[in-house]
């Protein structure tokens, strides 16, 4: 039904009362004093035009967030499937495929945040994407079902139980970053950049050029740590710039660059420690980053 044009205030009033003689003869039908209900509220107009708002829920925002969720879930599935296909065809080796998935999936998830609405519930819709991956990892990690493509893409040795360690911690960090920090806080952006790009590049570079080991941890290389600092820093700055250009954060860049450099150094030092057997890098690196970034970006 077409929505009536009622914008001018005078059109929203009751019809003018008939002459006083009619008002006198028929006081019920034509009261001489009009009741105070004069203007139609904008929210009622929106309801008749189809933009329904029930109990404070914006239906347009829900539709946008639901569509964005479906889109990002499809993208995540396509990413894993693509690298699974490349691995099966032996175009790239499994370890490289696993690390590229590690790097790209988190960064693409972070980059997708602006397509969600500005509603308060948008972050929870976004967190559904890693939450679905969380359930997928648990189901396959417990061998309730067996997705060979998933196992090969994200595990080191192709064992299902590996999905319940590093990959599971990884998606938990994605969930927490979206819910706790979202796109108006630099903390979540830097944390994901360091965990995905920094730690991921460190492993790739360390495996290829990591002959020179760190004295206090022979399992880590100097090249790997330097790569983590450099790429973690650059990707963090890139993501912060991306979100500032879209208007979600406002930064003083001289201070921001110095702060990100400090956070990157702290995360790199934590990643280089010989504690991998006790605490997984997908926990220690983002946790250290969150704590350090929260202190430095408290304003």
| Crossing angle (nearest 10°) for helices 281-296 and 186-193 | 150
CA distance 168 to 164: 5
Look at residue 182 in the predicted model and tell me its pLDDT. 95
Question: Which residue ranges make up each domain of the chain?
Answer: 60-181, 185-299
**What is the pTM for the complete model shown?**
0.78
Look at residue 132 in the predicted model and tell me its pLDDT. 94
Look at residue 220 in the predicted model and tell me its pLDDT. 94
Half-sphere exposure of 100 (CA within 13 A, CB side): 16
Look at residue 197 in the predicted model and tell me its pLDDT. 96
Q: Residues 284, 289, 294, 295: is their CA dihedral positive or negative?
A: positive
In 3D space, the residue among 249, 247, 253, 233 whose CA is nearest the CA of residue 190 turns out to be 233
Give Cα 267 to chain centroid, integer Å: 21
Q: Which two tokens stand for residue 110?
A: 């972070």
In 3D space, the residue among 173, 175, 167 whose CA is nearest the CA of residue 127 turns out to be 175
- Which stretches within 112-198 are classed as H helix? 122-141, 148-154, 166-176, 186-193
CA distance 55 to 173: 32
Q: From residue 52, how far is each of 61, 117, 186 by CA, in Å?
A: 11, 16, 34
Look at residue 56 in the predicted model and tell me its pLDDT. 56
Per-residue pLDDT of the chain (299 residues; tens, 9 = 90+): 445 544 444 444 444 444 444 344 444 444 444 444 434 444 443 444 444 444 556 899 999 999 999 999 999 989 988 988 888 888 988 889 889 999 999 999 999 999 999 999 999 999 999 999 999 999 999 988 888 777 777 777 778 888 999 999 999 999 999 999 999 999 999 999 999 999 999 999 999 998 999 999 999 999 999 999 999 999 999 999 999 999 999 999 999 999 999 999 999 999 999 998 889 999 999 999 999 999 999 87
Q: What secondary structure does DSSP assign to 115-135, as a single string?
A: GS-SSTTHHHHHHHHHHHHHH
């Amino acid at each position: 039904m077409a929505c009536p044009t009622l914008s001018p205030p005078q059109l929203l009033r009751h019809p003018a009362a008939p002459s006083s003689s009619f008002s006198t003869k028929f006081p019920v039908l034509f009261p001489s004093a009009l009741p105070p209900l004069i203007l139609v509220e904008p929210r009622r107009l929106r309801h008749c035009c189809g933009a329904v708002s029930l109990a404070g829920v914006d239906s347009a925002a829900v539709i946008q967030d639901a569509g964005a969720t479906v889109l990002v879930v499809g993208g995540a599935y396509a990413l894993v499937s693509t690298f699974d296909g490349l691995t099966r065809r032996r175009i790239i080796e499994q370890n490289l495929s696993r690390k590229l998935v590690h790097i790209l999936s988190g960064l693409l998830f972070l980059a997708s945040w602006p397509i969600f609405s500005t509603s308060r519930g948008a972050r929870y819709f976004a967190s559904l994407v890693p939450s679905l991956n969380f359930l997928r990892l648990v189901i396959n990690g417990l061998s309730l079902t067996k997705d060979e493509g998933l196992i090969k893409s994200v595990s080191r040795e192709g064992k299902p139980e590996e999905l319940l360690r590093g990959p599971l911690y990884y998606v938990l960090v994605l969930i927490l970053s979206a819910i706790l920090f979202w796109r108006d806080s630099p903390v979540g952006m830097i944390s994901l950049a360091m965990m995905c790009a920094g730690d991921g590049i460190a492993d790739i570079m360390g495996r290829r050029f990591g002959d020179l080991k760190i004295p206090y941890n022979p399992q880590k290389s100097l090249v790997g740590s330097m790569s983590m600092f450099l790429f973690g820093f650059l990707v963090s700055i890139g993501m912060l710039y991306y979100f500032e250009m879209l208007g979600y954060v406002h930064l003083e860049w001289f201070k921001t660059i110095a702060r990100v450099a400090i956070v990157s150094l702290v995360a790199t030092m934590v990643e280089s420690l010989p504690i991998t057997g006790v605490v997984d890098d997908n926990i220690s690196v983002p946790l250290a980053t969150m704590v350090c970034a929260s202190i430095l970006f408290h304003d």
